[in-house]
Amino acid sequence: MPLVDKKPKDYKQKSKQQRKPCQTNSDNFFYSMPNSKLLTVLIIFAIIVVIVMLYIFKYVTRNCGFNDSTNGAVGIYLSMVGLPVGVVLSFIVANTWSSFADASNKENEEATKLLLLYDLLTDIPGGAAIQDTIKIYTSFIITDEFPLMADGIQSTEGLAIILGIGDMIYNLNPQPGKETVLYNQSIDMYQQITSLRIIRMGYVVYGLAPELWWVLILGVVMVIVMSFFIYIKSWNLHVVLVSMTAATLISLLFLIVALNYPYRGDFGLDSLPYQIALANMVQPPTTDLIPLKKPLKPCPSKSSVGTQSSCSCSSCSSSSCSSPSTQSSCSSVDAQSDYTAAEYSDTVAEKKKLARLLAKHKMELNK
C-alpha cells in the first residue's frame, strides 16, 4: 500500500510493541532527572562519601607518621597520577562536546533538506503525493521519534516511511528538461536525508564505550584517595580541600554524562528544527513577500542634438525637468515609486501575519 494513503494519526495508533529498541540503557536514572538536581545530588553524595572515607583513612593511618616531610613525595606521585587522568578527562569532555555539536548541526541539516526536498517536488508531476508523505514523516519525527530517542530507542517505523518516500521518488517519470533536473536533485537530496537519518540514529544509541567509563571512574577515585595522603594539620581544612577536589572531578564526569547521548536527558536536543520545517511545509512563504516587486527606475533624462538643453534629476520631483514630456515621464516614475512603497507596506503586514501563523502552529505542535 502506498505510504501516502496513511495519515499521521495512523502512525500514532500503532502499539509500542512494534517499536523495536535497538539498544536499551540501564542509566535511565541519570537522564530522568533535571540536570541541576542531578548535579547537586551527585556532588553532595560524593562529598559525603569522601568525608567518610577521609575519616576512616585518618583513623587507620593515625600511627603511620605522616608529616610535612612526606608531602613532597606524595605530591610527586599525585602529579604522576593526576596529570594523565586530567588529560583523559579533558580529551573526553572535548570529544563529547564535539559529538553533541555535530548532532545538533546534523539535525538542522536534515530538517533543512526535508524542506528543500519538499520544495523540489512542487514542479514535478506526481510530486504532490510525495510532499504529503514528507509532511507525514516530518510530523512523525516530532511526535513519535523524539520521545523514543529520549529513551535511547531507535524507531523502525520512521525508517520504513523514509524508504517508502524513496520508492515513490524513484517511480516518478519526469519529462526531459526542467523536470529531469529537479528529479535528479530530488534523488540526491533524498539520499542525503537518508544518510543524515542514519547518523542521527547512531547518536541515539552509541556513546562512550564501557571501558572508558571504567578507566575514568578508576582514575577519579585514585586521585581523590591519593589526596588523603597529604598531611594537613587542620582536619577542617583537609575536608574542604578534598571536598573541592571531589566536586570538581564529579562535575567533569557529570558533563560527560550529560553530553554522551545528545538526545537524552534535560540537556538533550529538541525537535525545533523539524517543527520549523513542518510549519513552512504547511504554510509556505509566497512570492508576494519580496519587498520590491518593481524596482525603482532612474529619473529619465532628455537631451536634444544641437541644443544644450537637457534634463537630468536625482529626484523625480526636481524642478530642473522643464520639458513637458520629461515632466510627464518623471510623474509616472513618482507614481510608480509611491505604488512600490505601498506594496512594501503590504509586504511587511504579510510577513507579520505569516510570523503569527508560524507561532500559532508551533504552539499547536507543543500541545
Kindly report which listed range (145-154, 210-219, 260-269, 308-317) carries the lowest average pLDDT score: 308-317
Judged against a pLDDT cut of 90, whether residue 243 lies above it is answered with yes
Q: Which residue has the higher pLDDT, 35 or 116?
A: 116
Judged against a pLDDT cut of 50, whether residue 136 lies above it is answered with yes
Per-residue pLDDT at 311: 42
Judged against a pLDDT cut of 90, whether residue 52 lies above it is answered with yes
Find the mean pLDDT for residues 130-142: 92
Q: Which of 305, 289, 261, 299 is nearest to 355 (CA)?
A: 289
pTM: 0.64
Judged against a pLDDT cut of 80, whether residue 350 lies above it is answered with no
Rounded to the nearest integer, the mean pLDDT of the chain is 76
Find the mean pLDDT for residues 48-67: 88
Per-residue pLDDT at 366: 57
Judged against a pLDDT cut of 50, whether residue 302 lies above it is answered with no
Per-residue pLDDT at 245: 92
Evaluate whether 285 touches 115 at the Cβ level (below 8 Å).
no
Find the mean pLDDT for residues 218-224: 91
Residue located via cell numbers 505604488: 339
Per-residue pLDDT at 14: 43
- The tens digit of pLDDT for each residue in 261-297 reads 899 888 888 899 999 999 988 755 444 433 433 444 4
Judged against a pLDDT cut of 80, whether residue 122 lies above it is answered with yes
Judged against a pLDDT cut of 80, whether residue 36 lies above it is answered with yes
Q: Which residue has the higher pLDDT, 331 or 50?
A: 50
> So where are the chain's domains?
3-282, 288-302+322-366
Judged against a pLDDT cut of 70, whether residue 337 lies above it is answered with no
Evaluate whether 96 touches 175 at the Cβ level (below 8 Å).
no
